Amino acid sequence: MSETKMKKIILDTNMLLVPGQFKVDIFDEIREIIEGEITFVITNSIKRELEKITKGDSKDSSAAKVALDMIEKNDVEIADVKGKNTDEEIVDLADKNIIVATNDKALQKKLKDKGTKIIYLRSKKKLEIF
């Protein structure tokens, strides 16, 4: 009998801004494309980045507020990691058992080279995995 393993999904900052920018519920979408139990994870630097964006005057400040609200509502785990930057922290955390949700092309390339599965926003409407 095979035991289904909890899947960890790391969400980066730009993915967390998607609900506020494009009205796509990334949490529901991910639950639709990933079978089994899921744990959503962000790094402490991603949370700080979102908090910083909310204090700004950009169009993303309201999207960041939506993101922080969704993090709260979806019981997102906050990993305490130390790296030079957020992307490096995500790459360090990622392995073949972790899926990373990001639209950042440079980060996607690093993760792909490492063999990590990636979820991304397609056509500003739906999430896909590769």
pLDDT band at residue 4 under the 50/70/90 scheme: low
pLDDT, residue 69, reads: 97
pLDDT, residue 2, reads: 44
Task: Give residue-wise pLDDT tens across range 68-125.
Answer: 999 999 999 999 988 789 999 999 999 878 999 999 999 999 999 999 999 999 999 9
What CATH class does 7-129 carry? alpha beta
- Rounded distance between C-alpha atoms, residue 95 and residue 82, angstroms: 17
Pairing of strands 126-129, 117-122: antiparallel
Alpha helices (H) in 24-130, listed in sequence order: 26-33, 44-55, 60-73, 86-93, 105-114
pLDDT band at residue 1 under the 50/70/90 scheme: very low
* 76 CB-contact burial (10 Å; exposed 0-12 / middle 13-18 / buried 19+): buried
Average pLDDT over residues 50-61: 93
